[in-house]
Structure 1
Amino acid sequence: MNDSKNATWLGIDVGGANLKAAHSDGQARTSPFAVWKEPKRLAEAIAELTALFPPFDRVAATMTAELCDCYATKREGVLAIVDAVSRAVPGREPIYWGTDGRFHDVDAVRSRPLIAAASNWVALAAVSARLVDGRSAILIDVGSTTTDLIPVADGLVAARGRTDTERLQTGELVYAGVGRTPVCALAAELPFQGKPTGLAAELFATTRDVYLMLGDHAPVPDDRGTADGRPAVPEFARDRLARMVGADRDGCSEADARGLATAADRVLLDRLVQSARRACEATIGGPKVALVSGSGEFLARRVASELVGPSGEVVAMGDLWGAAASDAACAHALVVLARELLENQDASAG
């Protein structure tokens, strides 16, 4: 390892639908990339993202994309991702954060692949836990696809689960977010024009359309990564939501679409609050502080308010680190942890 105190770091978080990276100078970026559609192009996509940053000496990485169904097993996925990262950053030996709360070199991960599987939340939770002065807290990281709900006690991560399956069982992981979640996965029916209305079990609309209609997501006319391949703007979000109740724009006004979106948002909010309470009751009881981050930080803030109440405190990573770093919070946390590792090694050597 390069023990120079001036070494610059890049943290890389390889998700199934998004690649995220953060630089030790504070910059952070998120790039959509569907790993399951183009697994052979993963190294190229990572290289394209890293090329947008200033030069860097070292790389710390983590992942969740090993669960993509283009890989037969998570073990196969981890190994494929490790190879892709190495090809994307030639000449730099990446280190990987593990679910044991430590960094591991490439050889160690290749011998024990599952140690690096779905470990990004551990990095973010470890860094976040330092911000609450030993008080009971919960980390709420809402992304496009999933939500992490991690209890913190005495400045330490108090999660009961480590694997995705364990975390789904404890309520510490909810497979729902503010972008890619199909609306039909939120509820069997929603109120429409004043009546309970069954929802089509089809990928007609996602939560991205919900939050486009509600104004929480900014329109992106050039982005066609939507359910129907049309632009990510409110006009077409209205069409997509209308189809969820068997209607179209002729039978679903803007007000009707906003009503559907408001109802879908409430269902998701309630689900996250319920899971968070379940995770906390088994570990820390009622949290005094909530730490919020992610592309869905706006929703995380609302979940936090319901959990800690008016007497509690909400700490937003967007306020501390900036919006881009909050979106790429796990990658940002990797940089913090990697720099500390290097400093500790230098101190030991000295």
Structure 2
Amino acid sequence: MKDDRGPLASATSWLAIDVGGANLKAAHSSGVVRSSPFAVWKDPAGLGRAIAELAAAFPTFERVAATMTAELCDCFETKREGVLRIVDALREGLPDRPPRFWGTDGRFHDEASIRSRPLLAAASNWLALGTVAARAVGEARAILIDVGSTTTDLIPLVGGRVAARGRTDVERLQNGELVYAGVLRTPVCALAVELLFQGRPTGLAAEFFATTRDVYLTIGDLEADPDDSSTADGRPATRDRSIERLARMVCTDRESCSADDVAQLAKAADGVLLDRLVDAARRACATTIGEPATAIVSGSGEFLARRVAEAVVGPRGVVQALGDLWGPGGSEAGCARALIELLRGGERGDVLES
């Protein structure tokens, strides 16, 4: 009798890995998910070791699936080189288990295929999550809003398929389907040239003094982590330190302004980012599906994705959070978790051609 339950039916277990430039994310077919910070551009030679360390934290597995965005890191001469170096790192970190790579054509590919056509695997992770989200909403006109630490994906969905016009990063940036801003790593000076401070529009320093992580620590949307010093000034990721970092954005400090003054600045920065994402989402949908009735939200910035979704679908729309389905860790590592779902459902992802 033919077993048609997909690749997972014949394998004991899978590990799916999403290799990002700043974070490694992985999901196991048992349901376990984990994320680990790793700055690829600082230590590209250590990527294989980092992958091995992350994989060692999971239950045993027999096979590996992978997707990526780290090929854009400027430690690589080109994206082609980046893909090939990531392929090498996966083989180094997970020897004897050659990965299957998800491509921007909505299919899995073996290593030889990706080595011959590297750009097929470049920045393909969004399509994995979008394909799973499209299947979940069925025929509805919908949008996937995935807000991460660094970028935001705004993917129109219709008829159970991804309706995005772009496939490459450039095309998606041009169509509003990718916004290079997130809730942790984006420099505040990249959001605006001025923000409201002490009741007045105030110009911002074009310096790497603070990031959106400081904005959302100050507002209270993110939890403090005193042990984490991967911040603009290398000091802990706490609210007090975030207030100090944000104060420098308007060339002042804690002795010259109040916490309330800085909170106003943070709220203004949040408002600018929210408006930018809402405008991009509407632009992404306008020429593909029209006004969406449903939104699926995910990512480490799911809280912001929900606010974007509520503005885009309106009071009569439906907002579904992957965090409710997969848990906060599964939402943060959504692209890796999506690979597991794709393997369960069969190898080919349905993609609406533009």
TMscore range, shorter length: over 0.9
Counterpart check, 1:124 vs 2:129: yes
Q: Residue 346 of structure 1 aligns with which residue?
A: none
1:98 to 80, 99, 103: 103
Q: Shift of residue 91 of structure 1?
A: 1.4
* Aligned counterpart, 1:59: 64
Cα displacement (A) at 1:229? 0.2
Contact 1:3 1:342 in 2 (8 A): no
Q: Which residue number in structure 1 is paired with residue 140 of structure 2?
A: 135
Deviation readout 1:121-146 (Å, 9 max, x if unpaired): 00000000011131000000000000
Matched, 1:82 2:87: yes
- Per-residue CA distance 1:260-286 (angstroms, 9 max, x = gap): 110000000000000000000010000
Gaps of 5+ in 2: 1-5, 349-354
Indicate conservation of the 8 Å contact 1:199/1:245, yes or no.
Answer: yes
Given candidates 244, 259, 267, the residue that maps to 2:272 is 267
Alignment partner, residue 169 of structure 1: 174
> Deviations 1:145-185 (Å, cap 9, x if unpaired)?
00000000111000000000000000000000000000000
Once the 2 structures are TM-superposed, how far is the Cα of residue 257 of structure 1 from its aligned partner?
Answer: 1.4
Whole-angstrom CA distance in 1 between matches of 2:38 and 2:52: 12
Return 5+ residue gaps in structure 1 as ranges: 344-350
Question: Contact (CA 8 Å) 1:9, 1:339: kept in 2 or not?
Answer: no
1:49 and 1:131 map into 2 onto residues whose CA distance is 29
Runs ≥4 residues deviating over 4 A: 1-4
Partner of 1:32: 37
8 Å contact from structure 1 (residues 212, 219) kept in 2: yes
Moved more, 36-45 or 248-257: 248-257
8 Å contact kept, 2:9–2:344 = no
Give the CA deviation at 1:2.
Answer: 8.2
Larger CA deviation: 24-33 vs 266-275: 24-33
Which amino acid is the alignment partner of residue 66 of structure 1?
A: E
Offset at residue 252 of structure 1 (A): 2.3
Aligned residues: 343
Match of 2:346, SS? helix
Equivalent position of 1:348 in the other structure: none
Instruction: Please tell me the residue identity of whatever aligns with 1:67.
Output: L
User: Within 2, Cα distance between the matches of 1:342 and 1:208?
Assistant: 37
Question: Counterpart of 1:240?
Answer: 245
Check conservation: 1:5, 1:342, Cα contact below 8 A: no
> What's the CA shift for 1:86?
1.0
Once the two structures are TM-superposed, the CA of residue 339 in structure 1 deviates from its matched residue by 2.9
Quote the residue 2:116 is aligned against: 111
Given the alignment of the two structures, is residue 208 of structure 1 paired with residue 209 of structure 2, yes or no? no
Give the CA deviation at 1:342: 7.2
Once the two structures are TM-superposed, the CA of residue 341 in structure 1 deviates from its matched residue by 3.1
Given the alignment of the two structures, is residue 336 of structure 1 paired with residue 350 of structure 2, yes or no?
no
Maintained 8 Å contact 1:139/1:150: yes
Residue 310 of structure 1 pairs with residue 345 of structure 2: no
Matching of residues 4-43 of structure 1 within 5 Å: 5-43=10-48
